[in-house]
Amino acid sequence: MSTTTQAPASEATDQDAFLARLREFVGLEATPTRYAQDAVNQAMIRHFVEAMGDENPVYVDDRAARDTGREGVVAPPPMLSTWLMVGYKAHTAAAAGAAPDTPMARLLALLADAGFVGVVATNDEHEYVRELRLGDEIKMTTVIEDVSPRKTTGLGTGHFITTLRTYTDQNDEVVARQRFRILRFDPSGAKPAAPAAADPALRHKPFILRDNAFWFAAAAQRRLVIQACTDCGTLRHPPGPICPSCHSYAWHEVEASGRGTVHSYVVSHHPKAPGYDYPLTVVLVDLEEGTRLVADFAGDAGEVEIGMPVQVDWLDYDENLTLPRFRAATSASEPTEEEGN
């Protein structure tokens, strides 16, 4: 999901004050150390593997587990957090407002009062120090590691909360660590047509070859460049080895202003490629410098028209790839922030 922070100046002070209150929770233990209600046991493992359709015998068959060098049946590692869930009784009590007074409960109440009632988990990292065996008694400590500034996502605006959980056994040995990130969002601002923003990391990647590598390397630094013939000065795009005007092999790059106008555009509804939000608006932009390029339009399809002034914006596909897109030009540049999650 890509997210953008765009706060009008008048609201910025309120948002800063609110964020400062949220940030007071960073570093605190979210909840007291939580003890598993039950030791690691076969019945709960069986429920889990049946729901997952997991036929791995080491989770249910003692002999099969021993045949692989284990001491007996083990729990599926991704089942980690299941052992520490509070259970139906405590969950319903908390949902009815009778949550124990903990820093996490206070943080969530603060967010709920501000309208951030939606919840979705976005990232989860597990490190398994050892597999859990039948009879293990697990406990968990949770620290609030980060609360993000307000972000606008496909689900609505909200704040990401990152917690770091450490799981230990009956001998106080660490068995696993988990970094868990959720989004608490305000669903009233969500666009109904876009239940969730697509993840640009899923898009097909461009072919980067020796002739065009400079252009992508500049884009990775959020610089829009154009290839220029060193002999006759003609600009060209897409990049190529030879000047189409004078056939010279000598070239250098020049920095583009990032401003241009829409020469043409298409709005694609079908077929849907992974990683894009639909309807997908693709623009052909005449850059001020004279070359053209094809890029995504960052905005609603209804907003775009031929001849409209646009300016470059940037989209991070993943940690290695950033590509330009264009949005309607504004007189003053607005702060934008991209974050993959």
Partner 1 sequence: MSTQITIEQVSPGDTLPELEIPLTRTVIVAGALATRDYEDVHHDPAQAQRRGTPDTYMSINHTNGLVGRYVTDWAGPAARMVRLSTRLGVPNFPGDVMRLTGEVVGVEEDTVRVAVRGMNSKGGHVVSEVTVRLPRGSEQ
Instruction: State the Cα–Cα distance between residues 215 and 227, nearest whole angstrom.
Output: 8
The secondary structure element, H or E, covering residue 91 is: helix 88-93
| Residue 330 half-sphere exposure toward CB, CA atoms < 13 A | 8
- Map tokens 């252009």 to a residue: 215
Give the nearest distance from C-beta 112 to partner 1 in angstroms. Answer: 11
Give the nearest distance from C-beta 113 to partner 1 in angstroms. Answer: 16
Give the nearest distance from C-beta 162 to partner 1 in angstroms. Answer: 13
In DSSP terms, which residues pair with 142 in a beta bridge? 31, 165
Which residue lies nearer to partner 1 by CB, 155 or 235? 155
Give the nearest distance from C-beta 260 to partner 1 in angstroms. Answer: 29
| Residues comprising the chain, all counted | 341
DSSP 8-class letter at 28: S
Chain Cα centroid distance, residue 67: 41
Give the nearest distance from C-beta 119 to partner 1 in angstroms. Answer: 7
Instruction: State the Cα–Cα distance between residues 38 and 194, nearest whole angstrom.
Output: 41
Interface ranges with partner 1 (CB under 8 A): 1, 44, 47-58, 64-65, 67-69, 76-79, 81-82, 85, 87-88, 91-92, 95, 117-128, 131, 155-156, 185, 187-188, 190, 195-196, 198-199, 201-202, 272, 274-276, 340-341
How far, in Å, are 194, 211, 224, 287 from residue 232 at the CA level?
A: 48, 19, 21, 20
Which residue lies nearer to partner 1 by CB, 49 or 310? 49
Which residue lies nearer to partner 1 by CB, 37 or 257? 37
Which residue lies nearer to partner 1 by CB, 321 or 328? 321
Which residue lies nearer to partner 1 by CB, 78 or 135? 78
Instruction: State the Cα–Cα distance between residues 128 and 106, nearest whole angstrom.
Output: 30
